[in-house]
Structure 1
């Protein structure tokens, strides 16, 4: 969903950040009295897949033909 400000960059476009459990996830664990903070790695993909990006930044969206 995004990269936090305090995430550490492992390599170009790869970040490691803390992952805090939700309250519901906390109740699903064996011991809900302990709050365990995990670690997750996120990979950024800067490719836009919903249309064609022109050099000036304008996006021409993909249009699908109606088939009846």
Structure 2
């Protein structure tokens, strides 16, 4: 369960008022950022699965001792 903050917090959402050409630019940039995020996430997950499958990883966990475990 997530730890609750001691201080109350609020979120205010306001509409972004931009010209049509600015909206198109923002859409393209957000789409490029989404594409890059997904590509990097996929690459990272692929590397993580490859690390977990490597027998050297199990050996490294054993060598690190109890302080390496959480």
* TM-score in terms of structure 1 length: 0.21
Relative to its length, the structure with more helix (as a share) is: 2
* TM-score in terms of structure 2 length: 0.20
Higher relative contact order (CA 8 A, sep 6+): 1
